[in-house]
Structure 1
């Protein structure tokens, strides 16, 4: 399967502007043969903490992903701020706050959601967003795909626990330029230690709060090799991934059965 990470800039808190900018980029990825097309974390708003930034499930951002998936006959995913139906119940006084939800839309109208497990406390996300409850794995054409969002990348244990059921990890992000070495290194580490593909899809440009982003999107093999990389401009990152290669790597180097904890 060919996977595409759309490395893009984001217009701050302007969904319609982002939809207009991103639709042609999804189209180019599909035309290049991608069956799974990834947009960044908070692709439609930027990493905003503005009260009221949340939208309903199946709101405009999820609708955009579904429309693009149906139009191009591919899977399309990215994260957006979503409020669960009914406000999501009580959670330490956070009822009514949104989740940072990775929404994955399929070409036949199916939709899957993963809610970011680790709000970015250092940036105050824990005060404006609720935490999800656990990983989600979706099978796409025989490939088992497990998505994570940005700060999740720092927590190896959740990747470890998902590894037996994962061929490809997806990490969408608004990772800052100031810590780009961490991003690059951790993506390769997660691939090597779990013997699985990792796709990192990060934004470029300057956020509304002044944070700079340099992209560095990449696709990493189960052996840690860089299959495709990008620098600091809007571009597509494309590579083929194969579940058989994951199985062969794990059979050849049987590290995972020795893992403890």
Structure 2
């Protein structure tokens, strides 16, 4: 199955971001992708964190959800909409939700980011909990590819990557990591964490990132990639908008798990 990790440099215009996402999704579909994953905040990177509350959508109702449903159906593609803000009971907060759509345009799974990023090195500071409400439930879904093979796909978002126990709980064959890693933390930890999650779970990892200089002044690391169950980088797109594509193979996954049956050797 051919998969695509889509990289963007999202700005403050919802329409412009959706137009760019459509362009990149079409590029992936034309190249034969069956699954395409958009990055965290693909639809909007506001001037300040509170701006995302203005775009928060109700489940099943909203411009971004309509876009994801329509494009999945029109391109006959599994599409994971990195993240978008979803309304919660507290109007001062939103969920950072990742939605998966099948090729018929149906939303099959919603995952709300569990771990909220906080970082302060004295020069740059972030605290997602100011406007985001954390989720509490791991989510996975089953994907049947065009050959009839069924994959278990585990969902996560960005900062979740640092919490290995989430990925063990997902027990998936494909792990999704739509992200907006900062340049600082990405340079230090992005690739090594992604490869570690692939190795310890003996799973494919599809990591779609924001990557470049944003209108709001933020700088993100990029380096969207697809990684195999042995921890090898199969495809990577470094900086700016683009698509990293790779063919993933169940035989490769099963081969790694048979040769080194670490998942069967867990004691804790």
TM-score (norm 2): 0.88
Counterpart of 2:212 in 1: which secondary structure?
strand
- Asked if the contact 2:84–2:96 (Cα under 8 Å) also holds between the matched residues in 1, the reply is yes
Do residues 171 (structure 1) and 173 (structure 2) align? no
Calculate the aligned-residue CA RMSD, in Å.
1.6
- Asked if the contact 1:143–1:242 (Cα under 8 Å) also holds between the matched residues in 2, the reply is no
Alignment of structure 1 residues 103-182 onto 2, 5 Å: 103-111=99-107, 112-122=109-119, 123-141=126-144, 142-163=150-171, 166-180=172-186, 181-182=188-189
Do residues 32 (structure 1) and 28 (structure 2) align? no
Counterpart of 2:33 in 1: which secondary structure?
coil
Q: Deviations over 1:51-74 (max 9, x none)?
A: 533222232111111111011000
- Structure 2 distance, partners of 1:214, 1:150, is 12
Equivalent position of 2:75 in the other structure = 72
Alignment of structure 1 residues 222-233 onto 2, 5 Å: 222-233=229-240
- Asked if the contact 1:83–1:96 (Cα under 8 Å) also holds between the matched residues in 2, the reply is no
1:206 CA drift (Å)? 2.3
1:244 CA drift (Å)? 3.3
Consecutive unaligned residues of structure 2, counting only runs of 5 or more, are 120-125, 145-149
The change in CA–CA distance for 1:125 and 1:208 in structure 2 (over 3 A counts) is farther
- Structure 1 distance, partners of 2:221, 2:133, is 27
1:138 CA drift (Å)? 1.0
Q: Deviations over 1:17-56 (max 9, x none)?
A: 1112221111110000001111110111127511533222
- Structure 2 distance, partners of 1:176, 1:35, is 29
1:172 CA drift (Å)? 0.3
Counterpart of 2:42 in 1: which secondary structure?
coil
- Asked if the contact 1:139–1:145 (Cα under 8 Å) also holds between the matched residues in 2, the reply is yes
Consecutive unaligned residues of structure 1, counting only runs of 5 or more, are 88-93
1:208 CA drift (Å)? 4.7
- Structure 1 distance, partners of 2:127, 2:76, is 37
Alignment of structure 1 residues 229-240 onto 2, 5 Å: 229-240=236-247
- Structure 2 distance, partners of 1:226, 1:120, is 25
Equivalent position of 1:190 in the other structure = 197
Counterpart of 1:4 in 2: which secondary structure?
strand
- Structure 2 distance, partners of 1:147, 1:61, is 19
